[in-house]
Structure 1
Amino acid sequence: MAENGEEKLLAMARHIAKTLGHNNNNNMADDILQIFSNFDGRFSKENLSDKVLDSDHRSCATLDHSLKSLDQRISHFVSSDHPVWADSAESAAFLDAVDDLVGVLSEWSSLASDKSVGACIARAEDMLQHAMFRLEDEFRWLMERGGESFDLNRPYSKSTENKMSFDSEEDDEEEVMNGEEEQQIPVALPLTDYDVVIDVLPSGTINDLHEIAKRMVAGGFGKECSHVYSSCRREFLEESLSRLGLQKLSVEEVHKKTWQELEDEIERWIKASNVALRILFPSERRLCDRVFFGFSSASDRSFMEVCRGSAIQLLNFADAVAIGSRSPERLFRILDVFETLRDLIPEFESLFSDQYSVLLRNEAITICKRLGEAIKGIFMELENSIRRDPAKVAVPGGGLHPITRYVMNYLLAACRSRISLEQVFEEYPKLDDRVASSTSSLSVQMDWIMELLESNLEAKSKIYKDTALSYVFLMNNGRYIVQKAKGSELGTLLGDDWIRKHTAKVRQYHVHYQRSSWNKVLGILKLDSSNGSMGANGFAKTIKEKIKLFNHQFDEICKIQCSWFVFDEQLREEIRISLEKKLLPAYGNFIVRFRSVAELGKLGDKYIRYGTEDIAAKINDLFQGSTGSNGSCK
């Protein structure tokens, strides 16, 4: 080997001298030979002169002989009609031959400008290309064979013994083609834990693939190797997502789906996204790193080509949801998509951080922000729907308005995702300068929606011709709002001061109701000192007129207000007790005065229609809706 190396060194020096001293410039050639001779005695004129150029021919002959030997060895494998890797001895011999060929090319490529050496190098490169083509076929065969031998029923969880499945809940019927069962691409089995890694290829196969990849990269065929690898693994990923029920949908197809269909699709997307980002993609990353160990660029490129299509499919669906309808009913499912993608961003950042796939990571972050903007847009649409809700038809009996129920239940449901909403509204502009700067943007948003709702209800209360009924309407809706807010996440966002303020508002509505409805009745029962100056006959006449007027107005109020409705039993009881405290003492005093008038004493039964217990019973029948306690308004 030492002699062969020295011979190559002399051949190199001789080649340089000949090249620099071309065009028959013998003097220049002699000068160059003299320089070499002074540098190293082995480069003497005698050793490098044309007289011994026959050694060049011997060197070329040596190279030619090596190539002929390699051609015989490699042709045996290239032309084989059975897989080389079916026999471990055969595969080892093939790899040795490829290594020797690559070594020859590496040693002699620097002399390629020499015509005879260049011709040999061209032969060697052609031989290498055929060897690479065969290695590519063997690589593909190993990938496919490894997949076929993959045991779907063995457990893969790192922390449990649970089996996995990526199958959708619906049982897939077996498909038969031409009387034979269609070949199935292996996918993993029932999933109960995301803490798993799938080794879909046997360890021995992975080692064989690595050895082939190492030769193909060394031979300049790294991209071809990556392409074969990614085409096989990409099919596995796509089939796995398909088994989860995820369809490949365009933006237009997503937007054409009914809301129920889209809800079902979102449910499948959430499951598929978690499986892909937490199990499938990490497993593919691990497999890439093992197959292309030592070649980070090839590993990164292969991983990107394997996962890009599936990742884009998942992201495109989320993007289609983000740019879709802003209907308030869609908030909760869009929140589900947002939360899923947000929670998977660390996985995107971990998996897609290299030069080939960083765009996927950036796209995931962009779409997550777009989903946040969609959520903000939905709240804006909710505000608009409250503003646009017309004040045309009054709710019978002053009861709860549908918009009150809708908005409060909507906000209560939304606030169950308070953490996510606070994240979305983190940069939301303040809507009220009076709100303290320490108040969260979500709190400001909720307060603003409540303000819009209250304004809308106040406008609706003006539809009622009866002022007292308008206050019953405001009492009902105000009480409902406060009761819903208390003890909930919504109430926490609005704050204790807000709760106290609106509780006081309901009490104020109660006061206004009593004044507008019962003050006239209470005024009738009032007997001031001026009544005594009328004389006995005048006083008797006045008090007689008062009892008649009271009976009429009391009957009229009870007849009307027994059809009114107070939904909250506690509020209804509070109103009744308050009325009894004011009305019963005044009525009792009035009756005592009435009976004390001598002229009217014998006529008491004629004019006194109600005792105090009867008054209390009538009050108890108020606000029952359309019927009283006995089934009718009395």
Structure 2
Amino acid sequence: MMSRLIGDMQRHRRTLSTTVVEETVAAAATLVSKWHPDDHHSSLFLHASSPEADHFLRAAADLHRAMLFFASDPTNAHNGHGLVQAHHLLDTAMRRLQLELPRLLAPPPAGSRDRLRALADTMMSAGYGKECISTFKEHRRAALAATLRRQHTTVQVQLSKLTWEQVDDNIQSWLAAARIAFSSVFPAEKELCDTVFAGDASVGDAVFEDVANNQAANLLDVAEAAVARARRAPERLFRVLDVHDALTEILPEIMSVFGDRSEVAKRGCSALFKAGEAARGALANLEVAIEKEPSKATVAGGGVHPLTRYVMNYLVFLADYEGALDRINQQQGSPERSWSIGWLVQVLMRKIEAKAGSYREAALRHLFMANNTHYVARKVAKIPSLGDDDGEAQDAARRHVEAYVRAAWGKVLKAIAAADGVEVEEAVMQAVAKQEKWVAADEEMGQVLRAAATAAVVPKYRMLYRRHGATLRLTPGDVNAIIAALFGGIIATPSSC
């Protein structure tokens, strides 16, 4: 009797529960029918009222629970019918959500992230995670690629076949695009994935990797191609340093967003190291090129050698990258050579001193050294890190000017000391004739050379003129004017005695 009563009560509960579930399914059916996936013209989430979208998500969850309820008693034929109906409705609801997902993602409007997360949670909980993730990844891959294309127009295919010029043409846009991508675009994408798939962090991480890794790799491809095409050539060093600077800046972002053990992080570290190696190789090749510069021809008039101009202008530009050079030296651990601008200046000066030996005339050798050292000093002054090197170069230039005066005007000074008027005048004219085609590095050096020669010769000649003026045709003013006309100077009016 008691067992029959208990059985009746259980059947009554099952009947009551079934009734409630069936009513829930019927209510869900009405909402699913209204927002059937075959209706593509309106959006449940973008156009419908907020409560209705929330009701639809709850209805989908109810259908999933109904399926579990009916599946719990497979021996009940009535439950079998309910299970089929609930499954059909749930599948229809999921197709609707799958349709709505791209609409919420293109682009995500304000306030849509909570709905994206709710939609993803509903699909994942109902066993439609594969469909949700597939749709999400497909759309976000396309959207991310379009965003990066707007930043950087390089065709990301067959980079191995591009020439240096083709790669070089794209570096400037790549520098800006890479910085924006890794500091802004990828972090935003990671945040979106983390938000939408907040229910399972591992899923969010995996989705982000699938969406972003290829695009990140494409950007790193350009950096690697630029470094590879540079071939350690000194004239391409600045591009390599641009790439090195950019990689140094974005690598912490890569580590933060992709993870320090990710393939993207490994590629970034490798590209940075290779850029450093390429830069060191270019600097080594520059040193070799300076030391082995083949030209043995002298520069007419003892002017500034083309090698001096090229190297010093190169080093002035290189000074903008001294921070990068310091980092490159540090990244190599304990390198055999820490490359610096000061070292390359020394290499250049040794070469210039060697080239000075090509001049047979001692005065012209010293003039050549004075001009080139002066030019170096002017450029060194533009490189803050060299500090005292500027003063040292100026001192060296002054010493060469003094040596030039002794060599160029020594015969004149000797004749003055001997008080031989005829020989003095001949020596003056010979010295002037010899120097007429000699040149100064610039007007400043011209003034220095003329002033030094004037200070050495004119006072002594004036004293000679006062004692032996009757036998001399040239007045001190004439000698002063003659010297003033050298090295591009203006012919001055002879001064009084």
TM-score range, shorter chain: 0.7 to 0.9
Structure 2 residue aligned with 1:513: 404
**C-alpha displacement of 1:478:** 0.3
Alignment partner of 2:413 out of 498, 522, 530: 522
Structure 2 residue aligned with 1:342: 248
**C-alpha displacement of 1:573:** 3.0
Matched, 1:615 2:487: no
Distance 1:93 1:594 in 2: 120
Distance 2:101 2:309 in 1: 60
TM-score, structure 2 length as denominator?
A: 0.80
SS at match of 1:324: helix
Q: Which moved more, 1:68-77 or 1:465-474?
A: 68-77
Residues 394 and 460 in structure 1, CA contact (< 8 A), matched pair in contact too: yes
Structure 2 residue aligned with 1:234: 141
Distance 2:315 2:410 in 1: 38
Structure 2 residue aligned with 1:474: 369
Residues 621 and 628 in structure 1, CA contact (< 8 A), matched pair in contact too: yes
Superposition pairs for residues 18-417 of structure 1, below 5 Å?
A: 81-82=38-39, 86=44, 95-96=57-58, 98-100=60-62, 102-103=64-65, 134=92, 137-146=95-104, 200-203=108-111, 205-250=112-157, 252=159, 255-256=162-163, 258=165, 262-325=167-230, 326-353=232-259, 358-417=262-321
Superposition pairs for residues 576-615 of structure 1, below 5 Å?
A: 576-591=450-465, 594=468, 604=471, 608-615=472-479
SS at match of 1:323: helix
Distance 1:127 1:367 in 2: 55
Q: Identity over the aligned pairs, expressed in percent?
A: 27
Aligned AA for 1:143? L
Structure 1 pair 427–286 and aligned structure 2 pair: CA distance change class (3 A): closer
Aligned AA for 1:82? D
SS at match of 2:174: helix
Aligned length: 478
Q: Which has the higher helix share?
A: 2
Alignment partner of 1:421 out of 299, 315, 325: 325
Distance 1:613 1:430 in 2: 61
SS at match of 2:243: helix
CA offset digits 1:368-422 (Å, max 9, x no partner): 3332333323322322322232232211111111221222222122212333332
Alignment partner of 1:494 out of 379, 386, 401: 386
Residues 457 and 474 in structure 1, CA contact (< 8 A), matched pair in contact too: yes
Distance 1:482 1:108 in 2: 91
**C-alpha displacement of 1:464:** 1.8
Distance 1:561 1:422 in 2: 45
SS at match of 2:403: helix
Aligned AA for 1:304? E
Residues 139 and 209 in structure 1, CA contact (< 8 A), matched pair in contact too: no
**C-alpha displacement of 1:111:** 9.1
Q: Which moved more, 1:208-217 or 1:396-405?
A: 208-217
Distance 1:293 1:279 in 2: 20
Distance 2:121 2:140 in 1: 19
**C-alpha displacement of 1:427:** 4.5
**C-alpha displacement of 1:569:** 3.3
Residues 146 and 202 in structure 1, CA contact (< 8 A), matched pair in contact too: no
Aligned AA for 1:298? V
CA offset digits 1:566-608 (Å, max 9, x no partner): 124343333333333332344345455556xxxxx6xx3xxx3
SS at match of 1:390: coil
Distance 1:391 1:399 in 2: 15
TM-score, structure 1 length as denominator?
A: 0.64
**C-alpha displacement of 1:472:** 0.5
Q: Which moved more, 1:280-289 or 1:408-417?
A: 280-289
CA offset digits 1:409-462 (Å, max 9, x no partner): 221222123333322222565768xxxxxxxx45xx222201210121112212
Aligned AA for 1:629? I
CA offset digits 1:499-549 (Å, max 9, x no partner): 44333322332233233322233222333xxxxxxxxxxxxxxx7xx4443
Residues 135 and 212 in structure 1, CA contact (< 8 A), matched pair in contact too: no
Distance 2:288 2:85 in 1: 72
Aligned AA for 1:279? S
Residues 412 and 427 in structure 2, CA contact (< 8 A), matched pair in contact too: yes
Structure 1 pair 80–338 and aligned structure 2 pair: CA distance change class (3 A): closer
**C-alpha displacement of 1:352:** 1.7
Distance 2:91 2:355 in 1: 80
SS at match of 1:610: coil
Structure 2 residue aligned with 1:158: none
Structure 1 pair 133–273 and aligned structure 2 pair: CA distance change class (3 A): farther
Gaps of at least 5 residues in structure 2 are: 493-497
Distance 1:132 1:271 in 2: 47
CA offset digits 1:554-576 (Å, max 9, x no partner): 21220120210112434333333
**C-alpha displacement of 1:249:** 2.7
Structure 2 residue aligned with 1:559: 433
Distance 1:147 1:108 in 2: 35
Distance 1:131 1:374 in 2: 62
Structure 2 residue aligned with 1:16: none
> Which structure would you say has the larger Rg?
1
Residues 104 and 116 in structure 2, CA contact (< 8 A), matched pair in contact too: no
Structure 1 pair 397–104 and aligned structure 2 pair: CA distance change class (3 A): same
Residues 248 and 313 in structure 1, CA contact (< 8 A), matched pair in contact too: no
Structure 2 residue aligned with 1:629: 491
**C-alpha displacement of 1:233:** 1.7
SS at match of 2:491: coil
Residues 481 and 491 in structure 2, CA contact (< 8 A), matched pair in contact too: no
**C-alpha displacement of 1:82:** 2.4
Distance 2:478 2:225 in 1: 67
Distance 1:256 1:329 in 2: 15
Distance 2:395 2:335 in 1: 26
